[in-house]
Amino acid sequence: MPKTALDSLLEPLRPYTQNTRKNTILLTSHGRPPWYGEDGKPLSDAFVIAVAGGSASGKTHVARQIVQSLDSVPTVVVLSQDSFYNRLSEEDVKIAHANEFDFDHPNSIDTGLFASCLADLKSCKQANVPIYSFSEHQRLKETKYLYGAAIIIVEGILSLHDPIMRSLYDLKIFVQCDSDLMLARRLKRDVKERGRTVEGVLDQYLRFVKPSYDNFVQPSSKFADIIVPGHNNSVAVDLISNHLRGKLTARSVRFRERMANVDRYLPLGAAGGTVLEEELEGPNLIVLPRTPQLKGIYTVLRDRTTRRGEFVFFADRLANLVVEKSMELLPFSPISVTTPVGVTAKGMKLTATDVCGVTIVGSGGPLEGGLSRVIRDVRLGSLLIQSHPSTGEPILLHTMLPSCVTDRRKSGDAWVFLLDAQIGTGASALMALRVLLDHGVKQEHIVYLAFIVARGGGIRVIRRAFPDVRIVCGALDDGLGEGWVSSETGERRRTWPIEPGMGSIGDRYYL
Ligand SMILES: Nc1ncnc2c1ncn2[C@@H]1O[C@H](COP(=O)(O)OP(=O)(O)O)[C@@H](O)[C@H]1O
Ligand SMILES: Nc1ccn([C@@H]2O[C@H](COP(=O)(O)O)[C@@H](O)[C@H]2O)c(=O)n1
């Protein structure tokens, strides 16, 4: 297949986005296009496929083949039932080591946790999935953070057994394999990969694996939409992959252009521009006061002849001002301190504990220094959002978020400064905000920091979609122009630069 501009963009990220552990595979193949509408709400759930079948029937093989043949679609996650074995007591671990524990009975699975992780991933939220060790017969302490799947493949012997799990699937597959072949494969695999002896494997097979297969696994095949053979199944996998591709194409959205031209379809109302101004100047859009000092900074930054060193100096000054202004939005409480002369002085202390910054890579960088200068040791994360070379739509290529955001127990209390130098069409901003909300961060705990926000355009869409998000910016610019750019491969696409603007702030700051 010829290499596209997007392939080149993704190449350096490959090692970070592929995890081929048996338990969970996260494969971010070609970036994630918008998964929500202009109202900011998710448009559709992730597509969930269940692959059931006996032990060593080839479920993982089928799941991996599907992942491989879907290399051109956004994000595919394989979620294995193995990750959800119940936590065992010390006593039960000993029983398991003596080959006396029944890991094939439905009661051995923490179905509640399995279903809630799957429901979260399906509804586009993150999940912290357990990691299982077959040699220790136990869940490890660490969990695997998963987020952003467009397709989820659930794989496990009992994945079609439970009715709640079944209600979460969009496509149900059963891998039908000859019993002798399954036993032969299992013997080979368990001795080689799971540290078992031949006698142990045969004993476990006769006592637990085979009875469970007959009582629970095979009967669950009646719920399957498709029965796939356990060998020579490449034709079946091709058919399934084509079906999935069709489903995803039907779900793709394009709306950067609509956001850029929002004023044409979102009427301003009878009073002309009045509605626009009201929409802009609500209490949650805070613009720095236009002092001569601030105007001076903007003059240098807007001037195309300003050299890089000077640009960086003034951008850093502006970053400090924007960050300090945004600090007013955090919760403080009164405290007293004793001064060096022994007198009590009343003061204020920041009460929010989990405060972090999330940078939109490239554009948000200049604000990152400002945040680090104002909040000592602030935790920082990043989102890599780029424009697709041919459609121009934002695509989410990588997320690296601070633990207070990725951990569901903390994200509801976290305060996040989203750092992005400018909001133009607002398409990337909408995506970044959706990512934070998917993680459970509250709208009212998000402060979007920008040097420039363009009037009209996407800011109106963002304010309508997420009215409680606070936006702090240095200036409101006139609006958006129209232009064209060419990618490395010669693909031409439309752009909407902010006017008067500062050009590409990230490029001028870093290059
Ligand atoms: N279609 C197939 N053709 C050849 N070998 C296969 C096929 N499916 C599975 N295998 C082999 O069988 C073994 C068990 O397969 P796996 O997919 O891990 O089973 P399961 O996940 O159902 O336990 C592996 O060594 C795998 O390479
Ligand atoms: N500690 C454990 C847990 C599970 N098993 C066996 O794994 C089989 C399911 O995994 P597959 O990859 O084969 O689907 C199941 O049949 C359990 O007997 C185990 O041996 N030890």
Distance 55 CA to ligand 2 centre (A): 7
Give the pLDDT of residue 275: 43
Same domain, yes or no: 69 and 190: yes
Distance 195 CA to ligand 2 centre (A): 12
pLDDT (mean) for 384-395: 83
Classify residue 3 by its DSSP letter: P
Domain membership of residue 168 as a residue range? 5-251
Same domain, yes or no: 203 and 297: no
pLDDT (mean) for 209-228: 97
pLDDT digits (tens, 9 = 90+) for 456-509: 768 988 998 999 999 999 999 998 888 888 877 777 888 889 999 999 999 999
93: number of Cβ within 10 Å: 15
Same domain, yes or no: 196 and 324: no
DSSP string, 387-423: E-TTT--EEEEEEE--HHHHSHHHHTT-EEEEE-SEE
Among the atoms of ligand 1, which is closest to the Cα of residue 233? 1
Give the pLDDT of residue 278: 57
CA–CA separation, 481 vs 472, rounded Å? 23
pLDDT digits (tens, 9 = 90+) for 274-298: 445 556 667 799 999 999 999 999 9
CA–CA separation, 174 vs 160, rounded Å? 8
Residue 248: alpha-carbon gap to chain centroid: 17
Question: Would you place residue 244 in the very low, low, confident or very high pLDDT band (cuts 50, 70, 90)?
Answer: confident
Distance 103 CA to ligand 2 centre (A): 6
Is residue 88 situated within a structural domain? yes
pLDDT digits (tens, 9 = 90+) for 116-165: 999 999 999 989 899 999 989 999 988 888 888 888 999 999 999 999 99
Same domain, yes or no: 34 and 108: yes
Same domain, yes or no: 245 and 283: no
Same domain, yes or no: 405 and 487: yes
CA–CA separation, 171 vs 148, rounded Å? 19
Is residue 38 situated within a structural domain? yes
pLDDT digits (tens, 9 = 90+) for 300-339: 999 999 999 999 999 999 999 999 999 999 999 999 999 9
Is residue 212 situated within a structural domain? yes
pLDDT (mean) for 426-430: 94
- What predicted TM-score, i.e. pTM, was given to this entire model? 0.85
Is residue 157 situated within a structural domain? yes
pLDDT at residue 362 greater than cutoff 90? no
Is residue 336 situated within a structural domain? yes
CA–CA separation, 490 vs 494, rounded Å? 13
Same domain, yes or no: 95 and 173: yes
Structural domain count of the chain = 2
- What three-state secondary structure class fits 95? helix
Final residue belonging to a domain, choices 218, 251, 284: 251
Same domain, yes or no: 107 and 197: yes
pLDDT at residue 20 greater than cutoff 60? no
pLDDT at residue 414 greater than cutoff 80? yes
Question: Would you place residue 342 in the very low, low, confident or very high pLDDT band (cuts 50, 70, 90)?
Answer: very high
Same domain, yes or no: 443 and 506: yes
Q: Residue 160 belongs to a domain with what CATH number?
A: 3.40.50.300
Give the pLDDT of residue 300: 98
Q: Which residue ranges have their beta carbon within 6 Å of ligand 1?
A: 53, 55-61, 185, 189, 231, 233
Return the minimum-mean-pLDDT range out of 3-7, 10-14, 388-392.
Answer: 10-14
Is residue 431 situated within a structural domain? yes
Residue nearest to atom 13 of ligand 2 (CA): 55
Is residue 295 situated within a structural domain? yes
Q: Residue 477 belongs to a domain with what CATH number?
A: 3.40.50.2020
Final residue belonging to a domain, choices 251, 285, 319: 251
Is residue 258 situated within a structural domain? no
Same domain, yes or no: 73 and 197: yes
DSSP string, 331-354: -EEEEEEE-TTS-EEEEEEE----
Distance 418 CA to ligand 2 centre (A): 44
Give the pLDDT of residue 265: 56
pLDDT at residue 352 greater than cutoff 80? yes
Same domain, yes or no: 132 and 93: yes
